[in-house]
């Protein structure tokens, strides 16, 4: 099954990371901008077919309302990671895992934004559920600015069971909740950690929340009761990275 990737940055990252998976790249006919010229040269240098298409055709390929920036690529299915294999790889590299687990996040743009933040802040992977959750769609790839082509995204049948797997492998799970709980800075995030965030409206499901080793609440002073899940993920990831850097400095 083929999938669509659109947008200058996502397509560039795809071409650079997995050129053999790209069937063809379509560029807007008559567009002489520097970004598209650069992408054309990059594709030709990697032996990827490039064809011009009218913008109306690109609109139809990318989908209604999609901001494709005059670039659409046709490639193979998204290659999800296997959670156990990801953990094996981190163990072999002697890396202290920092993961993000998403419980029922259904907006692909939120998923993409979380993947983007996770990659930028040095996390090692994102775990998503298979059912009632957003897969890695073209909109998710676009929102990730191409980070989805670099950061492993593992897809699991059961998120609660995935938390058990993580704990069996020595990874502590930290769930984000909206009711009273310690602030993230009060919890040690320097060890093997998986940050667990719930769906946009309902938060963590009870079974998933009960499976978390720790709960944290992001302190807020405004009248809005909660944060967008992608913003919350970015805040928690930043705190985890801050703590890890501080510990590394103290260790000298």
In the chain, what are the domains? 3-75 (3.30.1330.30), 83-251 (3.40.1280.10)
Whether 200 shows a pLDDT value over 90: the answer reads no
CA distance 126 to 135: 12
Whether 1 shows a pLDDT value over 80: the answer reads no
129 neighbors 104 (Cβ within 8 angstroms): yes
Angle between helix 229-251 and 108-120 (nearest 10): 10
Whether 92 shows a pLDDT value over 70: the answer reads yes
Supply the pLDDT for residue 30: 83
Residue pointed to by tokens 């699991």: 156
Identify which of 90, 110, 77 has the alpha carbon closest to the alpha carbon of residue 197. Answer: 110
Supply the pLDDT for residue 225: 62
CA distance 232 to 248: 25
Supply the pLDDT for residue 113: 97
CA distance 132 to 121: 27
- How much is the mean pLDDT over the chain? 92
What is the rounded average pLDDT of the residues 102-124?
Answer: 96
φ, ψ of residue 197 in degrees (nearest 5): -125, 145
Whether 32 shows a pLDDT value over 80: the answer reads no
Neighbours of 93 (CB within 10 A): 8
> Which CA distances in Å does 14 have to 1, 35, 84, 148?
17, 15, 25, 9
Supply the pLDDT for residue 224: 64
Write the CB contacts of 150 (distance below 8 Å, at least 6 apart in sequence). Answer: 13, 17, 119
CA 62 to chain centre: 20
Tokens encoding 50: 């490039």
CA distance 23 to 98: 33
What are residue 74's DSSP bridge partners?
Answer: 4, 24
173 neighbors 236 (Cβ within 8 angstroms): no
Whether 172 shows a pLDDT value over 90: the answer reads yes
What is the rounded average pLDDT of the residues 50-65?
Answer: 89
Render pLDDT for 214-230 as a digit per residue (tens, 0 to 9): 999 998 876 666 789 99
Render pLDDT for 67-91 as a digit per residue (tens, 0 to 9): 899 999 999 888 999 999 999 999 9
What is the rounded average pLDDT of the residues 57-63?
Answer: 90
- Residues of the chain by 3-state class (helix, strand, coil), percent to 5: 40, 20, 35
């Amino acid at each position: 099954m083929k999938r669509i990737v659109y947008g200058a940055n996502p397509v560039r990252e795809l071409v650079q990371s997995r050129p053999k998976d790209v069937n063809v790249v379509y560029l807007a006919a008559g567009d002489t901008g520097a970004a598209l010229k650069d992408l054309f040269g990059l594709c030709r240098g990697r032996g990827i077919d490039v064809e011009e298409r009218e913008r109306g055709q690109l609109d139809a390929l990318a989908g209604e309302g999609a901001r494709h920036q005059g670039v659409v690529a046709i490639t193979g299915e998204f290659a999800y990671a296997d959670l156990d294999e990801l953990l094996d790889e981190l163990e072999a590299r002697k890396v202290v895992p920092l993961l993000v687990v998403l419980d029922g996040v259904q907006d692909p743009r939120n998923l993409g934004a979380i993947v983007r933040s996770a990659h930028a802040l040095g996390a090692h992977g994102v775990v998503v559920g298979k059912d009632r959750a957003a897969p890695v769609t073209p909109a998710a790839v676009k929102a990730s600015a191409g980070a989805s082509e670099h950061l492993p995204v593992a897809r699991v049948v059961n998120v609660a069971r995935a938390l058990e797997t993580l704990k069996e492998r020595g990874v502590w799970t930290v769930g984000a909740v909206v009711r009273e709980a310690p602030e993230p800075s009060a919890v040690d995030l320097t060890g093997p950690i998986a940050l667990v965030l719930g769906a946009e409206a309902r938060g963590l499901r009870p079974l998933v929340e009960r499976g978390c080793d720790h709960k944290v609440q992001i302190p807020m002073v405004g009248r809005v009761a909660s944060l967008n899940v992608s913003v919350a993920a970015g805040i928690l990831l930043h705190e985890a990275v801050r703590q890890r850097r501080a510990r590394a400095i103290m260790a000298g």
